[in-house]
Structure 1
Amino acid sequence: MMTHTRTAIVTGAARGIGAAVAQRLAADGLAVALVDLDEAACKPGVERIQAAGGRAVAVGVDVSDERGVEAAVQRITEELGAPAVLVNNAGIIRDNMLFKMTAGDWDAVLNVHLRGSFLMSRAVQGYMTKAGWGRIVNLSSTSALGNRGQANYAAAKAGLQGFTKTLALELGKFGVTANAIAPGFVETEMTAATAQRMNMPFDEFKKAMAARIPVARTGVPQDIAHAVSFFVSEDAGYVSGQVLYVAGGPQG
């Protein structure tokens, strides 16, 4: 058992996968900083954790803003303690076919997923290497393998896999592991928005997706949270540089 409460940072923690990860890590006994562009949107999650006897704070920051990230990590360290766990989950989609995709759509997606994960990881690594213990988990996606209408998102998610493997190589000797989780279809507001864009009721969309998934169901945020819980656990110290597809069947 841990002798003290470790601090975890989860980005994109206001809803969906990030919110579920924050709740799970709090249940696992970690103090959790819920980070999102909208600080107020993280408050309900913080309150749930506190009501269950845990420690949590909500922090509003744009993860692609270098100074903002440094200030946020500083604040988290002061309020909860030095970060030992980082889950880079913040992400956005700006889907379009290549010929219709704007440079702005490309930059926005790459900035949040890739630049954001880089800035957050760089900001926490000093604390982790000094402590001789750390866990970084990056959220990739099955879209890293290619997905029509998502050139920007697929490139960002594939980029995160290369980033993860490099962090594992650089940080391993300091007791820090880095792994990636690549979810398949998961029921979130983001996938509901995709269904809406396709003019399809979400239930129908989920049914159509489940028909193509070997375990015959769609994923829920808790499925991903469980995988994060494993990667950040004390006993997972010999697992690093891996990409785990949590997608209800073989991928990658």
Structure 2
Amino acid sequence: MTHPALRSGHTAIVTGAASGIGRAAALAFARLGMEVALIDLPGPMLGEAREAVAALGVKALALPADVGDRAALQAAASRIATELAPVSLVMNNAGRGESSSCLGDPGAFERTFAANLWGVIHGTQVFGALVSRGAIINTGSKQGITTPPGNPAYNVSKAAVKAFTEALAHELRTTRPEVSAHLLIPGWVHTGMTAASGAPKPAGAWTPEQTVDFLLQSLDRGDFYILCPDNDTPRSLDEQRMAWAMGDIIQNRPALSRWHPDWAESFKASLKS
């Protein structure tokens, strides 16, 4: 059974479409016969992605825009509504990651939230209004669930995307049941954001194409939480890590006890048991 959002002759809107998971998704939707609106920051990569999609024989529209700029997305939505087929799928995938510290530069939080969180909120509200029957997919992260130390701005933004998308799914169930919401939770994916430019793909990482294939299979099943494995991490290990993270609250352990010197060995032992 194919999800009703994946309809030939309809339009998919993809943010962060110039590279990585977004580009792979735009191409996959095009192979299904969908027209595609590709949204990303201006630059040659966006134009190249549009050409690759158009080469598959569908109409493709490249719309340079910063997803943190609501007015820019509203302008893009106006063009999509007049130049492309009816919209059945929105994928809010644009994101960024940069070094951050809880006690450091607040600008890192502002920039990260603008893309990772406000980009999802703006995209859901602006582009979601164009969807009469279909789906809204928001790209989260496992780091928004287990929140490992090292990059709090990214973790907080993705934790907020999880909470927002869960609330969205609940609202849609009661107000617009013909539109479903889904949270894509990628594993280790070899993209420009996770690896140095030109670096070879590590054996443990998935490609963006593998991630999108898993996304499409999960949509067909009607999954809300699209928790992707990778070549290093099976679902069972993700489940154990997530259960331990929730256990910090239930058992009143120290925050992020998995990385706490008094609890790290207990966590490792829990994996064996």
TM-score by length of 2: 0.76
Distance in 2 (CA, whole Å) between partners of 1:26 and 1:78 is: 19
Partner residue in 2 for 1:177:
180
- Please name the residue that 2:28 is paired with: 24
CA contact (8 A) 1:110 1:156 kept: yes
1:106 and 1:120 map into 2 onto residues whose CA distance is: 19
Residue number in structure 2 paired with 1:159: 160
Match in the other structure for 2:142: 142
Distance in 1 (alpha carbons) for counterparts of 2:170 and 2:208: 29
Identify if the C-alpha distance between structure 1 residues 247 and 165 changes in structure 2 by more than 3 Å, giving closer, same or farther.
same
Q: Distance in 2 between matches of 1:163 and 1:227?
A: 22
Tell me how far apart the structure 2 counterparts of residues 103 and 56 of structure 1 sit (CA, whole Å). Answer: 37
CA RMSD after TM alignment = 2.2
Other-structure match for 2:227 = 245
Q: What is the match of residue 124 of structure 1? A: 127
**Residues 11, 36 of structure 1: 8 Å contact kept:** yes
Give 1:213's aligned residue.
none
In 2: Cα distance, 1:55 partner to 1:228 partner:
23
Partner secondary structure for residue 8 of structure 1 = strand
Change in Cα spacing, 1:76 to 1:228, as seen in structure 2 (3 Å) is farther
CA shift at 1:98, angstroms? 3.0
Question: Does the 8 Å contact 1:19/1:45 carry over to 2?
Answer: yes
Q: Return the structure number with greater helix share.
A: 1
1:33 has 2:37 as partner: yes
Equivalent position amino acid for 1:184 in 2: G
Distance 1:147 1:222 in 2: 26
Q: Deviations over 1:143-197 (max 9, x none)?
A: 112122210111111111111111111113421100111112111111113xx8x
Question: Aligned residue for 1:226?
Answer: 213
Name the amino acid aligned to 2:90. Answer: L
**Pairwise CA distance, 1:106:** 0.4
Contact kept, 8 Å, 1:182 with 1:247, in 2: the verdict is no
How many residue pairs were aligned? 227
Residue 4 of structure 1 deviates from its aligned partner by 5.6
Q: How high is the TM-score relative to the length of structure 1? A: 0.82
User: Any unmatched runs of 5+ in structure 1?
Assistant: 211-216
Correspondences of 1:184-199 after superposition (within 5 Å): 184-193=187-196
* SS of the residue 1:190 aligns to: coil
* SS at 2:195 equivalent: helix
Give SS of 2:194's match: helix
Q: Distance in 1 between matches of 2:149 and 2:125?
A: 32
1 or 2 for the larger relative contact order (CA 8 Å, sep ≥6)?
1
- Assess if the C-alpha contact under 8 Å between 1:223 and 1:246 holds in 2: no
Aligned-partner residue type, residue 226 of structure 2: L
Q: Which residue of 1 aligns with 2:105?
A: 102
Cα distance change of structure 1 residues 73 and 40 upon mapping to structure 2, 3 Å threshold: farther
Distance in structure 2 (CA, Å) of the matches to 1:44 and 1:202: 20
1:78 is aligned to 2:82: yes
How much has 1:39 moved relative to structure 2?
5.3
Q: 1:1-28 CA distances to partner (integer Å, 9 max, x unpaired)?
A: 8886111100001111111111011111
Structure 1 CA distance for aligned equivalents of residues 215 and 79 of structure 2: 24
Query: What amino acid maps onto 1:166 in structure 2?
Result: A
Asked if the contact 1:179/1:231 (under 8 Å) is kept, the reply is no
Report the CA distance between 1:231 and its aligned residue. 5.2
Percent of residue pairs identical = 30
Aligned equivalents of 1:63, 1:35: Cα separation in 2: 8
Residues 135, 231 of structure 1: 8 Å contact kept? no
